[in-house]
Structure 1
């Protein structure tokens, strides 16, 4: 399917690896010129080269922490009029909520709620004026199904979801959409390292721990990052203008609900 995105300009945050990279690849394959972002210079440069070599689109890497005002300025300097914004950022580490002090809470909310809102504020009026805009926020299934120890991440992302639910309806008539993708367990380095860490603490074999985790998913496997990226690209496409304010769960059926 032609997604109608050839020549569009996209900013994809935290996209040097993992699900952010998968979104960047899918958009590049659809013909978008990209601004990608990461904090590891070598990894970011390698990703930029891979994307450009594979697709031939323009890829501009921005080495920055997107949570900071300076990092955001760098992204917007590289692409002042994006057609597409994919918000993504790392979350706070696993921690009992009793261990969180005020600064840790504020930092977590800044990472997973304030930062995407700030970027949306910076680009949305230009999208409205041009009559096209696609904003996708990568959140988590923990928005619907909280995970003990990730309370700060869940709370901040849930706050972002509610904040943008109203905003999305104010720009829909201008062909600007805002949607969220909620990933479950995807086969990324982050997932595998988390499984290894948990297995070591429990005295389990990491491969068996991974099999146990997969057995709890109705699909019987972890998701492939390109599955996630392709879903993101569709929500950014010219065909998705009637989809806005939605939360797309991609988790192999792990979150069990009829509605």
Structure 2
């Protein structure tokens, strides 16, 4: 299927690895002019090389910290009028109430609520004027199924979800859609990190931890970054213009509730 976005400008945050890189790769494959972002210039260069090898399109790359105004300004200077914005950022570490002081809460809100809100606010009016825009926020399954140990992430990302839902009511009439992708059990470095944590906590091998991870998924396997990236590309497509304000769970059928 031709997604109708060849030549569109796509800004993909935190895209030097993992889910962000998967989304950037999928959009480049569809013919978008992609701008990558990350904090590590070396890793960004490797990501750009990989996308070029796979798609024949060399993305631009901006080393910048999205948690700072300077970093966001640098990114917007490199891609001032994107047609597609994919917001993404690393989530805070799991913890307990004793771990979460005032600064920890502020850091979580800055990274997972305010940084994407500022970026969306900077580009959405231009999208509306041009009468095309696709905004996809990579959030988390915990937005719908909160876990206390992930409260920093849950609280910030749920705030972003509410902001996006309200804003899209105003923008969708101008063909600017805003949707959220809720990943769970996607086989990235994060899953390997969680497997190593499980090894430590339960005294089991890495292979046993990975087996336990797959048993948590109704599909009985972990999802691939490629599958996640394709879901993002579709939400950014011309065909998805009537889909807005939605939370798409990419979790192998693991969410048990009806709504």
Q: Do they fold alike, i.e. is TM over 0.5?
A: yes
C-alpha separation in 2, matches of 1:30 and 1:106: 37
Match of 1:173 in 2: 173
Decide whether the 8 Å contact of 1:136 with 1:236 is kept in 2. yes
Match of 2:246 in 1: 246
- 1:55-134 equivalences under 5 Å are 55-134=55-134
Count of residues in Structure 1 that have an aligned counterpart in Structure 2? 259
Decide whether the 8 Å contact of 1:200 with 1:206 is kept in 2. no
Match of 1:39 in 2: 39
Q: CA deviation at 1:58?
A: 4.0
Q: CA deviation at 1:56?
A: 2.5
Match of 2:159 in 1: 159
C-alpha separation in 1, matches of 2:43 and 2:257: 38
Q: TM-score, normalised by structure 2?
A: 0.98
Match of 2:9 in 1: 9
CA RMSD of aligned residues (A): 0.9
Question: Which 5+ residue runs of structure 1 have no aligned equivalent?
Answer: none
Deviations 1:175-225 (A, max 9, x none): 000000000111011211221122123211111111112112110011000
**What secondary structure sits across from 1:150 in the alignment?**
helix
Decide whether the 8 Å contact of 2:13 with 2:38 is kept in 1. yes
Decide whether the 8 Å contact of 1:82 with 1:123 is kept in 2. yes
Q: CA deviation at 1:255?
A: 1.2
C-alpha separation in 2, matches of 1:200 and 1:172: 47
Question: Which 5+ residue runs of structure 2 have no aligned equivalent?
Answer: none
Match of 2:207 in 1: 207
Q: TM-score, normalised by structure 1?
A: 0.98
Match of 2:186 in 1: 186
Decide whether the 8 Å contact of 2:8 with 2:83 is kept in 1. yes
